[in-house]
Amino acid sequence: MTPGTPPLVGQIIDLALEEDLGRGDVTTRLCVPPNAKSEGRVIAKQDLVVCGLDIFEAVMKRVDPDTEIEIMVADGDRIEKGTLMAMAKGRTASLLMAERVALNFLQRICGTATMTRTFVDAIPENCSVRLVDTRKTTPGLRYLERAAVLVGGGNNHRVDLGGGILIKENHIRAAGSITAAVTNCKQQGPHPLRVEVEVTSQEEVNEALAAGADVIMLDNMSNPEMAQAVKLIGGRALVEASGGVNLQTVAGIARTGVDIISVGAFTHSAPAADISFLIN
């Protein structure tokens, strides 16, 4: 795997193999001679953005360290339907036993990268907005999905509840006011973290600015409201748009001048990319 991939990714791979192969592969045992050798080709069955072939390889080698993988495309490449993405060479039985799990990872990761790229491509050229992910990730796959968002041309929001300060409506209510919440966080929050606060009106924008918020999240505002807020903020804080973002709306939101648009769909609703593994 890519150097620096955290140990947890190895654990999720093991878990997925245990789910599928934990009781052995009865069909392969009965049909495939243990030392028969084959070659398999990973083929894109749709246009897609490449991501995660290192995980595909890791799964293949976890099942059989003797399997050799040759990777033909690089993370971030936009490839067309029919492109050969990688070759796997080794024991036929090993290829068959690893295939499904290796694809289950690859298809999801490419799916997320591909959807992200589609959104990024929908942004008008002159907008410098960044599209970011959310914490709406698949349980166990946050590290991989966030990496896929980067590969697809997006950017990352906070990694977890400890990796960013984001004051939402409930925090505000509990703290008493935007002012109180932002002030607490400015004074006592870890200094490596900016203070972001969610607002729903221009009055709240003003209060957030006055309290010193570093980032202001506009929650479910209309485009005109957002444009007005951007103007009001005037560069004194970063501005994030949140809510109601889809392929139809993203360009319009970008044109409001916000700096950041967060898109839950990247990680919670990207369909798996269509990819085949053909053994011959």
- Binder among 36, 74, 210, 247 for its own copies (CB under 8 A): 36
Q: Interacting stretch for its own copies, rule CB under 8 A, among 45-53, 81-89, 165-173, 199-207?
A: 165-173
Judged by CB under 8 A, the number of residues near its own copies is: 103
Site for its own copies, residues 135 to 154, rule: CB under 8 A? 135-143, 146-147
Half-sphere exposure of 10 (CA within 13 A, CB side): 9
Residue 141 beta carbon to its own copies: minimum distance, rounded to whole angstroms: 7
Provide DSSP, 241-261.
EESS--TTTHHHHHHTT-SEE
- Binder among 26, 224, 234, 235 for its own copies (CB under 8 A): 26
Q: Is 136 a catalytic residue?
A: yes
* β partners of residue 48: 79
Tally of residues, the chain: 280
Q: What's the DSSP call for residue 75? A: T
Instruction: Please enumerate in sequence order all residues whose Cβ is within 8 A of that of 263, keeping only pairs 6 or more positions apart, or say none.
Output: 116, 119, 131, 132, 133, 134, 154, 245, 250
In what order do the strands lie in the sheet containing 195-199?
A: 130-132, 260-262, 238-242, 215-219, 195-199, 165-167
- Binder among 51, 164, 242, 256 for its own copies (CB under 8 A): 164
Closest CA to 143 of 161, 130, 162, 156: 156
Q: Do 89 and 54 form a contact (C-beta atoms < 8 A)? A: no
- Binder among 48, 49, 86, 92 for its own copies (CB under 8 A): 92
Query: Should residue 117 be labelled a site residue for its own copies when binding is judged by CB under 8 A?
Result: no
Q: Do 88 and 72 form a contact (C-beta atoms < 8 A)? A: no
Query: Should residue 163 be labelled a site residue for its own copies when binding is judged by CB under 8 A?
Result: yes
Q: Is 108 a catalytic residue?
A: no
Site for its own copies, residues 51 to 80, rule: CB under 8 A? 62-64, 66
Site for its own copies, residues 195 to 214, rule: CB under 8 A? 196, 214
Closer CB to its own copies, residue 79 or residue 260? 260
Residue 66 beta carbon to its own copies: minimum distance, rounded to whole angstroms: 7
Sign of CA dihedral 246, 248, 249, 254: positive
Query: Should residue 193 be labelled a site residue for its own copies when binding is judged by CB under 8 A?
Result: yes
Query: Should residue 127 be labelled a site residue for its own copies when binding is judged by CB under 8 A?
Result: no
- Binder among 105, 151, 245, 250 for its own copies (CB under 8 A): 105
Query: Should residue 259 be labelled a site residue for its own copies when binding is judged by CB under 8 A?
Result: yes
- The catalytically annotated residue of 100, 142, 158, 236 is 100
Q: Is 78 a catalytic residue?
A: no
Query: Should residue 108 be labelled a site residue for its own copies when binding is judged by CB under 8 A?
Result: yes
The one-letter amino acid at 229: A
3-state secondary structure of 200: coil
Query: Should residue 247 be labelled a site residue for its own copies when binding is judged by CB under 8 A?
Result: no
Q: Is 89 a catalytic residue?
A: no
Instruction: Please enumerate in sequence order all residues whose Cβ is within 8 A of that of 227, keeping only pairs 6 or more positions apart, or say none.
Output: 255, 256, 257
Catalytic machinery residues: 100, 136, 168, 198, 219
